[in-house]
Structure 1
Amino acid sequence: LSEILDSLESPTTLIDCSTIDVEDARKAHKLCKEAGHSFLDAPVSGGVAGAEAGSLTAMIGGDRSVIDRCSTVLEVLFDNVIFCGDAGNGQAAKLCNNMLLAVSMIGVSESFILGEKLGLSASTLFDVLSTSTGSCWSVNRYCPVADVGPKSPADNDFKPGFSAKMMLKDMNLAQKAASESDTATPLGTHAQSLYQDYVNQQGGAEDFSGISRFLRSGIRNDSQN
C-alpha cells in the first residue's frame, strides 16, 4: 500500500473490495489519511453469480462523506451499497456474514444427510426446508445437493464458485477477530475446524458447499469423535 500511495500525485480515494483482516483495513485507512488520500474498505458478497448478474452487495466502512462523494461509482459497481460505519466496519460485516454462511451451509448439509438416512428424498426435503422455518440462502439459492433447487455447484461436481480454501481464509479471519474482541463463537469455531479438515484432506479447490460431500463421507477429526 505504501508503494501505491507514493505513486499518487493528487488526493485519491482507494476502494478495497477484497476481504482482509479488520485491523489491517483500519491501518490502511490510517496510512491513506496520513498521505492525504481517502480509503474505503468495501468487501462484497454475492459470489460469481452475483457478479455476473450485477447483483453484488458491498459492505462499506469509512468516512461517510467519502462514500457520498463516491456514490455514483459505487452504484454502478454494486446493486446494494450498505454503509457499515467507521474504518474497518465493512470488513467486520463481511466476516460476520461469511461466518454465518459457513455455519448455515454445514447445518443444511447435515439436514440433507440426516433426511436421506431417515428415508426422505432430497427433493421432498428441499420443498419442506425452502418453505419452512429452516429456509435460508444455503437452501434456497445454493443448495449443496444436486438436482434440487436452482442450479448450484452441487450440479457441477462442486466446481467453484467460492472455493473451500477461500471460505477457510475468511473463517480464520473471523476467528482472529473473535479472539481479539474476546467474543465466544462456538459454532463459528467448530465450522472453522470442519473447513480446515475439509481443505487439508481435499485440497480446498472445490466449492465451499462441497463440505456436504465431505460430511457425507463420514470423515471426522479427533474433535468430533
Structure 2
Amino acid sequence: MAAYGSFRVRSLLSLHKCSPKITRSSLSDFSWTRMFSSSSSPSQFQAVGFIGLGNMGSRMANNLIKAGYNVVVHDVNHDVMKKFSDKGILTKNSPHEVAEASDAVITMLPSSAHVMDVYTGPKGMLNSGNGLRPWLFIDSSTIDPQTSRKLSSTISNSNLNRERGGCDNPAMLDAPVSGGVLSAETGSLTFMVGGSEEAYRSAKPLFLSMGKNIIYCGGPGNGSSAKICNNLAMAVSMLGVSEAFALGQSLGVAATTLTKIFNSSSARCWSSDTYNPVPGVMDAVPASRNYDGGFATKLMTKDLKLAAESGKEVEAKTPMTYVAEEIFREVCSEGHGTKDFSCVFRHYFCGKDEF
C-alpha cells in the first residue's frame, strides 16, 4: 500500500482543523461518524470542482449542484460551459484555475491521456509552484490502473496542500462509475472506489449525491481495475445476447419472445432485461432511438483494450477480451463508433428491428 503513496489522515483532529464550520469548542459535540455519513452537510467542501462535462459528467455535476454543493466547472467545450454559466455556476478556463478555487476536484474524462493532461499538463491541476487548495482529488474516468496508481502516488507524496497550510497531503481516489447516462441523470450510479479508506469515507457524501451504490475496492488503482472487469463482462454479455437474438430471428423466433424467455430463465442479464439491443423490444434504451446516446462503441473498444493490456501485464488468460475487442473495433471501423455499443446487434450480427 505504501508503494502507492496511500493517503494518511494523521488524526481526526487534523480533519477538524480543515473544516471551517467546526470550532475547537464544539469538537466534543461533533460526530465524526456523521461527517462521513450519507447525511453529511456539504460544508466540509466549500467548493467542489468538476472537470469533464460530457454526457456523464454534466449530469453528475448537476446532481452535486442539486445536493447543495458550490460547484466550479471546466470543459474544453465552451458551449457546455456556457450552459452552466447561464445557470449561475462558476466556470474556469483551465483545470489549474478549477483547482485554485476548489477543496475537492472530480474529473470525468475520456482516456488516460486526457486525465494525465488535466492533472500534469501545462495548465494541469498539479502544475503549480505555489501549492494547491484541494485536499481531495477524485477521478471517475475509466482508465488503466497503472495511470491511477501513478497519479495517486504523485498526489499523496506531494506537499502541494501543505504549502498552503492544508491539514495533510492531498489524496486521490480512482472512482469510475457504472450505470450509464440514465443513472447519471437520476443520481443512481454505482461507484467503484480505489484509494485509502480514510479518503473514501471523507468522499462518501459526494458519491452519494451522484450515485446510490458506493463500493470500496481497496487500494489505489483497484477502482479502475474493477471498472475494467465490469466493462469486459458487460461487453461479452452484450455480444452473447445480440448473437442469440440474431440467431433466433434467423430461425424464426421473434426477439420479443426470446426476451420473455431470457428474462424468466437462466439467460437473464442486464443486456436482456434493462438494455435490450433489439430495436422495438424496449423503450428508453439506445436501441429505441437508432442507438444514439448511451455508451459509445469507441469507448467500449477503448475499455476492452485496457482490459487486454492489463491482462497481458499479469499474464491472465483473456480470450473473450480479445474476441470482444476485435468485434467492437470492426464496428468502429465501419463508421459506427459514436453509436451505443449495443448497435453490435445490428451492425455486426445483422439483427433486424422488431415491429
Pick the aligned partner of 1:155 from 272, 288, 305.
288
1:204 matched residue in structure 2: 337
1:42 is displaced (CA, Å) by: 0.3
Q: Distance in 1 between matches of 2:285 and 2:299?
A: 17
TM-score (norm 1): 0.93
Residue 19, structure 1, aligned to residue 142, structure 2: yes
Pick the aligned partner of 1:172 from 305, 313, 317.
305
SS of the residue 1:5 aligns to? coil
SS of the residue 1:79 aligns to? strand
Any runs of at least 4 consecutive aligned residues in structure 1 with deviations exceeding 6 A, and if so which?
A: none
Q: Distance in 2 between matches of 1:145 and 1:69?
A: 42
- Aligned positions of 1:187-198 closer than 5 A: 187-198=320-331
Identity of aligned residues (%): 39
Q: CA RMSD in A?
A: 1.4
CA contact (8 A) 1:40 1:87 kept: yes
CA contact (8 A) 2:282 2:288 kept: no
TM-score (norm 2): 0.59
| Cα-to-partner distance string for 1:44-87 (whole Å, 9 max, x where unaligned) | 01100111121100000000011112222222122110000010
**Quick check: 84-93 or 149-158, which moved more?**
149-158
Q: Distance in 2 between matches of 1:163 and 1:11?
A: 32
1:123 matched residue in structure 2: 256
Q: Which amino acid aligns with 1:199?
A: C
Gaps of 5+ in 2: 1-118, 159-168
**Quick check: 20-29 or 72-81, which moved more?**
72-81
- Which of structures 1 and 2 has the bigger CA Rg? 2
Q: Which amino acid aligns with 1:159?
A: D
Q: Distance in 1 between matches of 2:132 and 2:345?
A: 50
Residue 79, structure 1, aligned to residue 212, structure 2: yes
1:11 is displaced (CA, Å) by: 5.6
Residue 142, structure 1, aligned to residue 275, structure 2: yes
Q: Which amino acid aligns with 1:32?
A: I
CA contact (8 A) 2:246 2:350 kept: no
Residue 88, structure 1, aligned to residue 221, structure 2: yes
Gaps of 5+ in 1: 219-225
Point out which structure has higher relative CO (alpha carbons under 8 A, 6+ apart).
Answer: 1
| Richer in helix (by share) | 1
1:34 is displaced (CA, Å) by: 1.2
